[in-house]
Structure 1
Amino acid sequence: MRFLPLLLLAALLPASAANAGTAAQSKLNILLLTVDSFRPDRLGCYGSREAHTPNIDRLASRGALFTRAFSTAAWTNASLVSLLTGLYPGAHGVERRGESFPEGAVAPLELLSKSGCLVPEINYLFPMPNYRNLGFTPNAIRDLPQFLRSCRDSTFFAWYHFHGPHLPYSPPEKYRKMYLPRGEKESPNIRQVLENVILPRGEEVFSESEKAVIRKLYAAEVAAQDEEIGRVLEVLDSLGLDRRTVVILSADHGEELFDHGWLGHASTSLNGTLFDELIRIPLIIRLPDMPRRGIRVNELVQSVDLLPTLFELLGLPLDCPDQGHSFLGLLKGTGGVQAPRDRVFCETSVCGYQCPDTLEVTWLRAVRTESLKLVETLAPHEAPRFALYDLDKDPGEQLDVSALFPDTLARLQGILAQQVFRNQRQREALLASSGATRGGESFPPDMGQVAVQAPAEGETITYAAQGGKVLVSWSGPQNGEYLLEYTVGLGKYHLEGSFPVRGNSQTFGPFNPVFWMAFPHYNPWRFRVVPKGRPELASAWRTFTFN
């Protein structure tokens, strides 16, 4: 994240000798790189002997590596919004695919953006409703290296999310050969993993040899991701930006690789869990003036702690709600620093992004200490179920010992309930702080039915023709408020729902080619546009496909 002009810092901070140090920090850039479905135990710097991750390993050798970092959820958007706000999902409110941070509430990155710091939208996730109102500003450049070259003299907070080793596991050929040199025959089950975004739990039965191949495909995806990260860091260094840029590498969540009988995560398996393979994430941070390099931090930290840490590093007040704890002392390795937390809290729906817009969804909550984990399952029309794991004796979380330790169970149930209550109170305060939101342009009384203008009925949209972008436009006031209703896909790929938009056009993307490859799985795509408060003027349904 990035940091304020000296003049603003002088206004915010008391006149003292401390100002000199803070002024130096104000020139820092922040480069936050997150990777989808990224397990730390598949990286060389985290101990994997078969990993080929030289660029990530080099970054860790020059910074701080956190061995016990955890996400807040087992699917992408809920977790990343926590990272970008310092709030748990139950507080920031992004728990389903159509939800957003409250418009009008102050987001941490908004404080940076308003100060003059560049906080650009430069990755493919921003068109999703889940990433609205977080303080990012529209930006014409969506290529990260190009953005870095364009802002050599600017101060920026740049966040980029890599699709990474998300299903399907279809790595570039050179990395596939690195891990599967014999060119193992592709069984029908392996082809499912090579081609599908969604693999519902139990849909296939994998042999042990197939599981081994799948793990190697994942490792090859990680190696390919390392190369991509290396290219970004090379650009940063070549521009001299490394001398004033904090580099952070982390993830939205982990990935199951048959640790508990299946693969993927909530949005791909439709049967997510909160076992460590899904909530443990890499966290590597390199400061330009790292007091000690190559340090390993073993204390518990969580993604909600990142923003408070960065704001303290910059000497800036975090004048908005947050639930994290700064770990700056641990990051600098100064010693004698108290750990910021003794537990982490996680929550998720079992189906992540694929969940329907209904309350009939199973939810999981967990509290984890260094040695214990309690998981609560909340299924519709059922009493809550609890499972307790002794992580010292059972790090693989295979044996529920809740019946053996009723006192421990009760204590952790109380801690979990308190955290849920705090999230609810924080959510209420956030909504109250948002106040009245700005209304859109009104619709004329004599306005006719909305007409969709793009894409054309029956159109097939290709990556090459559209440059990785999807333009949706319709008739009506340019600043009107509308609801986009959609129904896409068939079978396991079926999704339906709606989300609010302002204006009579939306451009989604640009998406990278790998991400685009997932879209045809959801054919056909159908949507209509409904003016807010005027359902009688809804457009006809428009159908299109991807190729």
Structure 2
Amino acid sequence: MFFRSLFISLSTIFFILMAFNVHENIERKRKINVILITAESLRNDMVTHENCPHLLQAAAQGLRFSNYRANSAWTGSSIVSLLSGVSPFESGVHTRGQSVEPETYLPLEQLVEAGYTVNGLQPFMAMDIYQNLGVSLDSHSPDPLLWLARQQLDENPFFLWYHYVHTHLPYTRGAVHKDPSRLDLSPQLLAITRDTAIHAEEGSFQKEDIELIHKLHQANIQEFDRWFSTLYEFYTSGGFSRNTILIVTADHGDEHGERGMVGHASTTLEGHLHEEIVRVPFFIWLPESLQSLELDGLDLGRPVSHVDVMPTLMNLLDIRPEYKLQGKNFLSSRNKDQVWTAMTSSGGFAEPDSAAIRYFEYSLLENNWKIRLRQYSTGLAEELYLYDLGSDPGEENNLASQYPDRARALQKRLEEQITTRKVFPGRMGERSVNTGGDIPKWVYPSSSNQFTYDSLDGRFYLEWSGAPERSYLLEYSAGHGAKVIQGSLKVDGNRKDFGNISQIYWNTWIVPNNPFSIRVKEVGGDFGPWLELEALP
């Protein structure tokens, strides 16, 4: 089945690209397009010639910023900053059930107004976290090459965001790790090859584990590099390099045992902003139509972050942002002296109680001096750390007591940013008892059941009775024990389509998070019965 699908995909791409030659004159008249690739949990120091030979070979034709950072420690908050140019302090996206305010007119919404097709392709992009950004989910195919090939027949410019998820835990990609039990790992290290999340309370990893954890993650990253090589070949040979900006970065990094944990905020529930989490790669390839840009004197080692991407892209697209963005155009030599700031919630998407975040951690970097400030909601004393990254890149020595004046000065600047912070209540759903009235009934699935990937034919949606022009609230619970996640999702209409799901995605993300409980109600009404679902391998 895999090879048949591959043949069909490649054949489709071939014939569409043949048609592209007929439309070459249209291509020359098009506006600049954007392809934004984000790799999950990819830290900068793991982008080596051993792990990413194809990416680094392609980088010779582009620009790599070596001092680039994420602005948060988990995917949702980081991606919102990347796609909006708005920092986590202002976006208010700190856990599930939160999104930027709908009245905020952001850059991607401007692109839609300007005639751009702005799409994501993957089911998780339907979550409320990514609402109000201007991104629409194209649920027809998760294959970015097929999507890009179709765009060659369309006169509209496009912005595509694709998130490569398979560099996330578990670290099991690649043939060498098909049977992790043969690697003679301890039970704790074996969990890295099996679980999508390893909470900090499950045990501490040791310094001597770090190199092995690097090796385990290496297979995932090498597979990403091979995937990228196919995309880049398509980008160059398919004509996209003439008028399409290509960006490759990561949402955040991953800890590999440096602080006793493996993962990031949403997987450890002990989020922090150390360098292994925030230092991520950033590559940009400018199309032939922008090669005349004056880039002499551009410092590729200057501090740059996610919030700088949209201001830069809007400048390249010659569209002035209507919303005041926090970031700066990083291709301008005038924007040199920048201070990096970041914040994260304690548990990111998986915060145990999204309405009561346990702590926030903030960070600020100026020159080589970096502070981390952790403030608890439980009354615990705040924690302040000061590091000199020039002499201590691993952040092992807290210099706050040795340089109190410097620590206080940086803390004051950081607290000025904290005062602007928005924190919206998490939407956990209502727990009221049904009181009668028109209660939605499940149409698909019509009853609780078990499902395999093949039985769904790779596509999954939920449908219930009720008026399609009304708004509904889906309440869900996924997982079991300490790793259960509960929340709710607002839906316009009586159907929620999660699009096409690959078998790898099904087995990695859906099956391990059994069981699933879902119920629905019309906004202002009463909940219908729970739907109990189990995903089978």
Q: What TM-score do the two structures reach when normalised by structure 2?
A: 0.85
Q: Deviations over 1:461-518 (max 9, x none)?
A: 2222223332111111112111111222212321112222111110124233333222
For structure 1, the residue ranges without an aligned partner over 5 or more in a row are 1-23, 330-336, 429-444
Query: Kindly tell me: are residues 266 and 259 of structure 1, through their superposed partners in 2, closer, same or farther at Cα, counting changes over 3 Å?
Result: same
Question: One-letter code of the match for 2:528?
Answer: S
Once the two structures are overlaid, the 10-residue window that deviates more, 73-82 or 197-206, is 197-206
Deviation beyond 6 Å, 4+ runs, structure 1:
none
Query: Which residue of structure 2 lines up, in the alignment, with residue 203 of structure 1?
Result: 202
Equivalent positions of 1:353-372 (< 5 A) are 353-355=349-351, 356-372=353-369
CA distance in structure 1 between the partners assigned to 2:419 and 2:39 by the alignment: 31
Could you list the per-position Cα deviations for residues 32-61 of structure 1 after superposition, in whole angstroms to 9, with x for gaps in the alignment?
1100000111112xxxx5x23122112211
Corresponding residue for residue 348 of structure 2: 352
| Whole-angstrom distance in 1 between the partners of 2:284 and 2:489 | 35
* Pairs within 5 Å for 1:521-532: 521-532=512-523
CA–CA separation in structure 2 for the residues paired with 1:465 and 1:190? 34
2:400 is aligned to: 402
Percent identity over paired residues: 29
- Structure 1 distance, partners of 2:248, 2:404, is 39
> C-alpha separation between the residues in 2 aligned to 1:215 and 1:238?
34
- 1:446 deviates by 9.9
Is residue 2:463 matched to residue 1:473?
yes
Aligned residues: 488
1:314 aligns with 2:317: yes
Alignment partner of 2:175 out of 167, 173, 176: 173
Aligned partner of 1:338 in structure 2 is 334
- In structure 2, relative to structure 1, the CA distance for the partners of 1:524 and 1:137 (3 Å cut) is closer
Amino acid at match of 2:406: T
Residue 163 of structure 1 is matched in structure 2 by 165
Correspondence for 1:454: 444
Q: Is contact 1:30–1:158 with CA below 8 Å preserved after alignment?
A: yes
| Aligned counterparts, 1:127-526, within 5 A | 127-139=126-138, 140-153=140-153, 154=155, 155-173=157-175, 176=177, 184-204=183-203, 206=205, 211-289=210-288, 290=291, 297-329=300-332, 337-355=333-351, 356-379=353-376, 380-424=378-422, 448-516=438-506, 517-526=508-517
Does residue 540 of the first structure (1) align with residue 536 of the second (2)?
no
Q: CA deviation at 1:313?
A: 1.3
Separation in 1, partners of 2:282, 2:150: 27
In structure 2, what residue type is equivalent to 1:544? L
CA distance in 1, matches of 2:440, 2:74: 35
* Letter of the structure 1 residue corresponding to residue 517 of structure 2: R
What residue identity is the alignment partner of 2:394?
A: G
What is the alpha-carbon distance in structure 2 between the residues aligned to residue 211 and residue 388 of structure 1?
24
1:52 to 2:51 alignment: yes
Per the alignment, residue 21 of structure 1 pairs with: none
Superposition pairs of residues 66-85 of structure 1, within 5 angstroms? 66-85=65-84
1:350–1:361 CA contact under 8 A, matched in 2: yes
Q: 2:123 aligns to what SS in structure 1?
A: coil
Whether contact under 8 Å (1:312, 1:328) holds in the other structure is no
Deviation at 1:423, TM superposition (A): 4.3
Distance 1:324 1:253 in 2: 18
Distance in structure 2 (CA, Å) of the matches to 1:296 and 1:183: 47
Is the CA contact (8 Å cut-off) linking 1:25 and 1:315 kept in structure 2?
no
Which residue of structure 2 aligns with residue 32 of structure 1?
A: 36
Tell me by how many angstroms 1:456 deviates: 3.8
AA matched with 1:527: I
The Cα shift of 1:161 comes to 0.5
The residue type equivalent to 2:169 in the other structure is L
Name stretches of at least 5 consecutive residues in structure 2 with no aligned partner: 1-27, 425-434
Are 1:251 and 1:282, in contact at CA under 8 Å, matched by a contact in 2?
yes
CA contact under 8 A between 1:90 and 1:420: conserved in structure 2?
yes
Q: Deviations over 1:516-542 (max 9, x none)?
A: 2222222211121122112xx310111
Q: Distance in 2 between matches of 1:215 and 1:25?
A: 46
User: Structure 1 residues 467 and 344, CA, compared in 2 at 3 Å: closer, same or farther?
Assistant: farther
- C-alpha distance in structure 2 between counterparts of 1:226 and 1:118, whole Å: 27
Matched position secondary structure for 2:309: helix
SS at match of 2:258: coil
Matched with 1:439 is none
Quote the offset at 1:138 in angstroms: 4.2
SS in 2 for 1:126: helix
How far apart are the structure 1 equivalents of 2:34 and 2:438?
Answer: 48
Structure 2 residue identity aligned to 1:320 = Y
Change (3 A) 1:405 1:26: farther
SS in 2 for 1:119: strand
Distance 1:138 1:371, change over 3 A: closer
Aligned-partner Cα distance in 2 for 1:100–1:360:
16
TM-score, with structure 1 as normaliser: 0.84
Report Cα offsets for 1:384-416 as digits up to 9, x if no partner: 221111212211111111111111111111111
Q: Is the 8 A contact 2:43 2:278 kept in 1?
A: no
Question: 1: CA distance between counterparts of 2:208 and 2:461?
Answer: 44
Mean Cα deviation higher: 379-388 or 299-308: 379-388
Aligned Cα root-mean-square deviation (Å): 2.6
Tell me the CA shift for residue 267 of structure 1.
0.9
